[in-house]
Amino acid sequence: MGYGNYSHAAHAALVADRATRSGAEVFRQSATHALMNPHGLKVRESRDNADHPNALAIAFALDVTGSMGDIPQTLARRELPTFMKLLTDCGVPDPQLLFMAIGDATADQAPLQVGQFESTAELMDQWLIWSYLEGGGGGSGSESYELAFYVIAQHTDFDCWVKRRKRGYLFMTGDELPYPAVSRHQVEALIGEKLDEDIPIEEAIAAAAETCHLFFLIPDAQRRRACEPRWRELLGDHVICMDSPDDACAVAAGIVALTEKAVPHLDGLAQVMSGHGIARERVNAVAHALEGYAALLDPNAPKRMHTGHGGPGTARSSWWKRLFG
């Protein structure tokens, strides 16, 4: 998949058309869409083609349980064109996006939904709004995030990896713990394939990480307390704690741009964001969320000093002063 050209204007028009619609009018599914049903899933492909000779696979696994519905809504109503525009403005060629929706396989009717990798605004948008926002969750403090790692490891094929040994990206949004293992019973029920035994989540993550950079995005400081320690045990500095769920697209785009060295450091990312018309408060919030990861990529990069989470008390760095005064 992944044919056709991306148009930011077309994507922005799709999103703008929803400004006055209710959430139920945008996400109209009342059950898993037939094309996102993972039963019988073979492979989701991100392929090079004449339009996109350097395809880069990027998957979003969105927690669609009751406490996390704000991020899919924000993507569909406002922010997904921002993600694509930031990537192209930073010089990241040929991104191809796939959407998964994650729930709780112990309680929900639709705990795993899987789209296709796409390059055009219309098709990206189509898979996103075909997601069924079940709004459930089992109340156990865990969701079935491990199933997304399993899908990436066992059911994807990326030309960026096969041809260029360049890993793709998985951005998972969530505010709960994962289950300790991929359940063989759930895999059989949901995908229709038999495993000899459960797969510990550490092994599922290691397998997915062979072809994909894995990131877990926590929506805000309030929701990080319960889940951050365990996720840091599993993913280390690839756990990103945001100031607001509204920042998910900009944070994800920044991670790709920094990792691909399309921008040299947070300074360059901030310049692109400000040039895109993003308010200085959001630029600061995104930079704050990415400080730890940026330092991991370049320990010698200039550090920002702050006293809070990007609020009025923030002591701004030299790059911030150059950009905003």
The ranges of the chain annotated as CATH 3.40.50.410 are 8-261
pLDDT at 313: 33
Are 18 and 130 spatial neighbours (Cβ–Cβ below 8 Å)?
Answer: no
Per-residue pLDDT, 96: 96
Pairing of strands 44-46, 156-158: parallel
Q: What is the mean pLDDT of residues 268-273?
A: 94
- pTM value is 0.92
Of 15-24, 25-34, 199-208, 313-322, which gets the smallest average pLDDT?
Answer: 313-322
CATH number belonging to the domain at 8-261, selected among 3.30.70.3270, 3.40.50.300, 3.40.50.410, 3.90.45.10: 3.40.50.410
The answer for residues whose C-beta is within 8 angstroms of residue 231's C-beta and 6 or more apart is 177, 178, 216, 218, 239
For 46-62, what is the mean pLDDT?
95
| Spatial separation of the C-alpha atoms in residues 27 and 132, rounded to whole Å | 7
Token digits of residue 72:
């899919």
Confidence of residue 303 (pLDDT cuts 50, 70, 90): low
Positive or negative, the CA dihedral 210, 197, 65, 122 is: positive
Across 95-101, average pLDDT = 97
User: pLDDT tens across 216-242, in order?
Assistant: 999 999 999 989 999 999 999 999 999
Picking from 51, 62, 144, the residue whose alpha carbon sits closest to that of residue 98 is 62
Quote the strand ranges of 47-116, DSSP E: 56-63, 95-102, 112-114
Confidence of residue 324 (pLDDT cuts 50, 70, 90): very low
pLDDT band for position 108 (cuts 50, 70, 90): very high
Q: First vs last Cα of the chain: how many Å apart?
A: 45
Q: What is the pLDDT of residue 323?
A: 45
Q: How far apart are CA 97 and CA 4, in angstroms?
A: 13
